[in-house]
Structures are given as structure tokens and as C-alpha cells.
Amino acid sequence: MPLFSRGQPDQGLVYLRRGDLAKAEAHFKKALDKHQDVSERLGLAHDLGHLGQVYADRGELNKAKEHCHKALAIHQELGNKLGEGTELGNLGLVCLELGEPNEAEEHFKRSLSIAAAMDDRLGEADQLGNLGLVCAYRGELDKAEECHQKALAIHQEARDRLGEANQLGNLGSVYLQRGDSAKAEKHFKRALAIDRKLGRRPAQALGIGNLGLVYHQRGDLKKAEEHHKKALRLHLQIGDLLGQASQLASLGLLAEERGRGQPQELLEQARALYEQAGAGGKGPQEVWRALERLGSP
């Protein structure tokens, strides 16, 4: 779940969008060294937050949470409400990956309140979409769809393509949970087309994997496998532990359903990566249950 890094002309953020995480990390660490002076507290906060994004995209969730907290504390100390709202939203996304939906919801609501007070329409849209993720996590799909549709309308009105792609993908996931594979496919493909134009490789990998889930739901297991393998290759190139875990899990479940291949080995690899990332929530739980079915301790 990539964090938001909208529109700032910073080379590190360009690397982040491309999925060049090593280059992004080196860039932000170099900037961090320059901003250690007390007079450069705002720059320091931005660098810490950007490093949090790098670690989140890499699947180093506890490290991401630590950096987001540090950035948030500085923004609060300086009274920088815009920065505070951004980091609260990013913290919420990390918490959701850690399997902490209540904490995530609290952060998203605080961020939404700040955005509304500042008349920051795109910030409001981001946090409405994030609250939709919490609703979907809990299985409240009507509420999730409502949040994502509201967010999508704001992003489209503002011609914010990054936000539009995020909400299209989120809506696709809601429709997938409902079992409406046609609607899910349509939304995932629209999101993927935008992400390709924006050069967002981590988001592209996620979108290709999502299409694999669509084809699995339809029973087209060969096509599903092709998409999950393609997504896995991208996640490996990027160095995204959570993305790799998700695709290995999907491939393991496919192998289990087909009754061939090495489902247990694939699921064990997914479990190890989820544990390394510190991830919680539905994805890891599904892997644990599948391994129990296969008799793995």
C-alpha cells in the first residue's frame, strides 16, 4: 500500500514513484543530513516522512511507523497543520498494514478534520478514501464504496490523476469483495492505465496482482497465475516485501486449488515475508489458515 507523495518536484519522490527504493532512500538520507540543524526542522520532518514512505513501500512497516511518528512530532511542534495531516494519513496506512484498523481509523479521522479545517479538498479526498479502506477491512462494503466514490469525485474534479488511480483501485477491491468481477476488472484496468502513464511501478505491480485476483475469482486459473507471476517479478525488482508476500500467497492458494505445484512451499515463503514485515490483517491470516489446512505447523 504505497503512501501518498503527490506533486512535489523532488528527485527522491521521482525515484519513489518509479519504485527505485534504494535511490530514494539514499536521496532522502542525504537530505536528512543537511537538515540536522535546528533551523531546518521543517526540512527534517519532510525527509523523515519521505523515508517513512520508502520503508512502507519496501514492507519495513515498523521502521516506516517510527519515521512517520518522528515526522509527525516535528510538524506538530512547528504548528505545520498540512504536514501533520499528511503524516497522520501515512501513519494510518501503515497501521492498516500492521493489522491495526482502529488506530488507523483514528489517524485518518484526525487527518480529515485538519484537511476540512484548512479547506484542503484533496486532503479530504485522500482521507475519505483511507476511511473507505478501514470500512472494507471490516467488511462494511457499502460504507467503503460510498467513501471511495466521494473521494474519486473530488480527485476527478481537481484532475488529480494520482488520487483518481488510487480510488479506482480501491473501488475495484470493494467490487471484488462483493464478487462482482466484471466491475472490479473495469476499475482495476482504469487505475492501471493511469499508473502506467504516471510511471508508478509499485502501484502497477499492485494493479496487475489485483487483476490476478479477478481471474482467480472467475475460475480462469491460468490467467490468474500469469498475472500473479508478473506482479511478483515487479515486486521483486522493487524490493517490496509485502507485495512479494501477497503474490506468493495468491500463487500458493492457486496451487492448492489446482492440486498441483508446491502450495505449501509458496505459502511458507509468503508467511516468512509477512512475519519479516510485521504485517497483520486479512492477507496473513488467510495464509495461516491455508497452511493449517495443508498440515503445516
Q: Among residues 93, 92, 25, 13, which one has the least CA distance to residue 58?
A: 25
Q: Tell me the percentage of the chain whose pLDDT exceeds 70.
A: 94
What does the domain layout of the chain look like in residue ranges? Answer: 1-119, 136-199, 209-297
Question: How confident is residue 33, by pLDDT bands cut at 50, 70 and 90?
Answer: low
Question: How confident is residue 39, by pLDDT bands cut at 50, 70 and 90?
Answer: low
108 vs 24, higher pLDDT: 108
Mean pLDDT is lowest, of 11-15, 148-152, 210-214, 254-258, for: 11-15
Q: What is the pLDDT of residue 14?
A: 82
**CATH code that applies to domain 136-199:** 1.25.40
Q: Enter the pTM of the model.
A: 0.89
* Range 1-119 classified under CATH 1.25.40.10: yes
Q: Among residues 128, 84, 81, which one has the least CA distance to residue 109?
A: 128
Q: Could you report the per-residue pLDDT of 136-170, keeping only the tens digit for each?
A: 999 999 999 999 999 999 999 999 999 999 999 99
Q: Could you report the per-residue pLDDT of 162-213, keeping only the tens digit for each?
A: 999 999 999 999 999 999 999 999 999 999 999 999 999 999 999 999 999 9
Decide if 1-119 and 136-199 have a common fold.
yes
7 vs 34, higher pLDDT: 34
* CATH class as words, domain 209-297: mainly alpha
